[in-house]
Amino acid sequence: MAFLDNDGTNMGGFLTNYALTFTLTKYLKNNSWFRLDFPTDYTRFGTVVCVYANRSTPIDCSLDGNTLIFSNIPMEFLPGTYKFQIKNIYNPYVKGLTKSFSFESLEPGTNTMVEGYEILGVSISTGTINNPSISGSPLNKNLKIEYTISFTPMNTIKEGGCINITFPPEFGALDSSCRVTRGLISGSLPLTCSSFQKNLTITNFADFIPQYIELKIQATNPGTSGSTSQFQISTYNKITGLYYPVDENLQAGQITISDVDNPYYLQIDLYRAYTNSSLDTVKPLDFRLYPQRANVLPITPSYGV
């Protein structure tokens, strides 16, 4: 039996440590060796350091491609449970469970396997987007207004990465461009904030550590009243031409649309007599013009319409 635990962060792409725990049922001679095969999900490794955790002593280990070899261990292994710590491993850029590992114990100086195990993959997750806020006014149906969106990513995003914000599907058209008002500066190219259908994408920013980011965009409110679906915000790093998720919040907020429709026109009866009224009384709208005394309007004849 053998299993592998993430002994640090489980976020994709981040440098971390692993703990390998295994149970031997057979005796191993002095200077026996072990090998751990990482799945192809793993494409980057740091300077790997290994420790025999039962005694807190370092052990020799080296990488051959995706195979980690533990060798020159000057001790016998009796049947029982053991633990190796493996430091400086980069988590793969996947979300969910990685492919499986394989672990073998071998006779000294040979490739003769004594015992072998398949180890289930480890769980890799994204970070989160903190303090998301979505605001706009007025929230009438079918009305085009300016929205302010703000949030704080949990992790560093490198130049070449991107930020994606998805509006709920109920929304109408978005402006083709948006404005970043706080938190990001241009990288080697001018900062870009653009939209396609219901998605906003921010690119060409310089490396940034977790910080408050704010942007604004004009968008047409949904045509139905009530609460919308959730907004979604994600950040990505770009590695070898591909985008990999770093942080995400799939429930970044929702808004509530009023049942008042967009006022396409305003109808006013200018011929109805003006009447003084209190705030709690419905009366005709006072839409009379009050010119300055120096610009008195001349009296003109009335014409039928």
In tens, the pLDDT along 10-35 reads 888 888 999 999 999 999 999 999 99
Domains and CATH numbers, the chain: 2-124 (2.60.40.1290), 127-257 (2.60.40)
Distance CA(41)–CA(27), nearest Å, equals 33
pTM exceeds 0.75 for this model: no
Is residue 193 pLDDT above 60, yes or no? yes
pLDDT in tens, 50-69: 999 888 889 999 999 999 99
Task: Write out the chain in H/E/C secondary structure.
Answer: CEEEEECCCCECCCEEEEEEEEEECCCECCCCEEEEECCCCCCCEEEEEEEECCCCEEEEEEEECCEEEEECCCCCECCEEEEEEEEEEECCCCCEECCCEEEEEECCCCCCEEEEEEECCCEEECEEEEEEEEEECCCCECCEEEEEEEEEECCCECCCCEEEEECCCCCCCECCECEEEECCCECCCCCEEEEECCEEEEECECCECCCCEEEEEEEECCCCCEECCCCEEEEEEEECCEEEEEEEECCCCCCEECCCECCCCCCCCCCCCCCCCCCCCCCCCCCCCCCCHHHCCCCCCCCCC
Distance CA(130)–CA(113), nearest Å, equals 49
Residue 87 vs residues 19, 41, 46, 298: alpha-carbon distances, Å: 9, 18, 8, 90
For 198, left (φ over 0), alpha (ψ -120 to 50), or beta? alpha
Sign of CA dihedral 72, 75, 81, 85: negative
Residue 154 has what pLDDT? 87
Percent of the chain with pLDDT over 90: 61
Strand order in the sheet with 144-153: 179-182, 213-220, 144-153, 127-136, 242-249, 232-239, 162-166, 199-203, 192-196
Percent of the chain with pLDDT over 70: 86
